Structure 1
Amino acid sequence: MSDVAEYKSWVCLICGWIYNEEEGLPDEGIAAGTRFADIPDDWRCPLCDVSKSEFSVVEF
């Protein structure tokens, strides 16, 4: 069993866009494996431009 916590996905509650920690956002300078908490606080949703506070973790 791995000691590393599973990667999570975070969904924008406004537009439904999903940030996947495992994939990151290389086009925006966010490397694969970057945890949502480690994204800068001034980051905005690439689809609808809302703040990180409008995102919620996706639970399966």
Structure 2
Amino acid sequence: MSLRLRRIAVDGFRKFREPMAIDGLTDGLNIVIEPNETGKSTLLEALRAAFFVRHSTKN
């Protein structure tokens, strides 16, 4: 079994105060190309937090 992301949605994480979604992700390599300061690194941080940061209800 493998994990396949088809859509990424972010809301309320750092600079993403309004909901934002990337649809249509496919198998293999997907590349996000956007101008500087549009949130590419923040999107990566959100993915890292979702999969690798331990969460608790105290925070």
TM-score norm. by structure 1 comes to 0.33
Please state which structure has a larger fraction of its residues in helix: 2
Q: Which has the larger radius of gyration?
A: 2
Higher relative contact order (CA 8 A, sep 6+): 1
TM-score norm. by structure 2 comes to 0.33
